[in-house]
Chains A and B, each alone.
Chain A
């Protein structure tokens, strides 16, 4: 079963948010979502300096089989994007909570987020 990391918070659209609130927070997509998408081959991320809004689309994740919108789990300014994952999107499959992180946001407002337990219960992940 796909791993769910207990220190993170999760959106209903399968993004994870690094839970500690000091400074910009890291955002990625969960292993549950990465496994469901299949091998990810392209990722389109918001630009540094742009503002993302919780619950709204801010990019795309494309796998061999399909393409999915990427939703912002929080509102705030994008401070950094992971160039490594743009160059090698397979990192999202191999290490969704580590090297496969997507971007960082200086959060002004959080969308509705779940705890790891709630997310795992709703999506069949394994803590």
Chain B
């Protein structure tokens, strides 16, 4: 596999990061203690390099209709400046990726313009699938992942940190930016003003901003944000704490909870699929049949949250048992740093999926009780 480095690799090295391979990218795993980074984001703020994520522009007269066909949601219905979480599925309903799509200001000619953000490991596959699905539409699909960096500031102090880089006249753009929305703002870095795309989709369970920036501008912005965060508890944060944060927030991770082998209904993402939209879309027939069969509600397995009663954590691929019989499998699990007990997500047979059900997880040969609980495990107090 090719080794990719983000534009911020030198910044990470300087900050003492240890690295890990993620989707072919050398990404910071942690800088010092992943627990300290986790708590910093719950209580103050953390700075993430998410440049390994993909960025694909979709523009043209048919952009909305094309995305309605290519993805499972009704993307043409997104208001300008808003974002929507969606899935790109195979014809059989399997999930190719979960992704966020932003609708941005119209192009100069008045045609619609969208930014699709797939996961790092899937970016190439998604770009290829979109290009293929675009054949019958008047639309331009442009994969700019290689030129684009993504920096995220997450945590309760994210807004006040960001405001320090935004001219006073534009503060309201930031403070009034809603959840799952995006806006272009001017940010001052080293005295120079850059216009950047700022989004607020916080994948950590906290308030948070994501900033899309050309690679060349990323190191300067990273340094400026770190400086702005001094005195506000901002720390650089790696993938280790990103994973524990998103697990606490009950958000599925592609490769763990979501794969081509699962479908939206089993994954609890039924509401993301718009069977009602007028147009055909890839996977529609299969997904309609899966829903009609009751997958994830009356038959098959569904994704649930599990709370451990002991101290030992369940981990991905551990068997889930009921009275010694195999009824499911853990997809992600670890001790929750915020809650102080082990949490996990697992696919279990629907008849054992009710909240309050006590199941066992086979922890390397020893069965330990876990209780089915509602997701997310952690929800911030507003």
Residues of A within 8 A of B (CB): 35, 38-39, 41-42, 44, 60, 62, 64-67, 90, 93
Contacts and interface: CB of A to CB of B under 8 A. Distances in A.
A93 B33 contact: yes
Interface residues of B, number: 17
Interface in B22-41: 30, 33-35, 38
B335 A41 contact: yes
B364 A67 contact: yes
A64 B337 contact: yes
Contact of A42 (B35, B240, B243, B335): B335
A80 B33 CA distance: 29
B335 A64 contact: yes
The interface residues of chain A, by DSSP majority, are classed as: mixed
A44 B364 CA distance: 13
A62 B33 contact: no
A64 B315 contact: no
15 contacts: A38-B30, A38-B33, A39-B33, A44-B312, A60-B312, A60-B364, A62-B312, A64-B244, A65-B34, A65-B240, A65-B334, A66-B315, A67-B315, A67-B364, A93-B33
Interface of B: 18, 30, 33-35, 38, 240, 243-244, 311-313, 315, 334-335, 337, 364
A116 to B, nearest CB: 23
B126 to A, nearest CB: 27
B255 to A, nearest CB: 15
B330 to A, nearest CB: 13
Given A42-B313, A62-B335, A64-B38, 20 more contacts: A35-B18, A38-B33, A38-B34, A39-B33, A39-B34, A41-B313, A42-B335, A44-B312, A60-B364, A62-B312, A62-B313, A64-B34, A64-B35, A64-B240, A64-B244, A64-B335, A64-B337, A65-B34, A67-B313, A90-B35
A39 B315 contact: no
Contact of A64 (B312, B334, B364): B334
A38 B162 CA distance: 30
A38 B312 CA distance: 16
Q: Which of B38, B244, B334 counts the most chain A CB atoms within 10 A?
A: B334
A42 B311 contact: yes
A55 to B, nearest CB: 19
A126 to B, nearest CB: 14
Nearest to B310: A42
Contacts of B243: 65
A62 B313 CA distance: 8
A90 B32 CA distance: 13
Nearest to A93: B33
B35 to A, nearest CB: 4
A39 B364 contact: no
A39 B35 contact: yes
A30 to B, nearest CB: 16
A17 B157 CA distance: 45
Nearest to B37: A39
Contacts of B312: 42, 44, 60, 62, 67
Contacts of B35: 39, 41, 64, 90
A12 to B, nearest CB: 21
Contacts of A44: 312
A64 B335 CA distance: 6
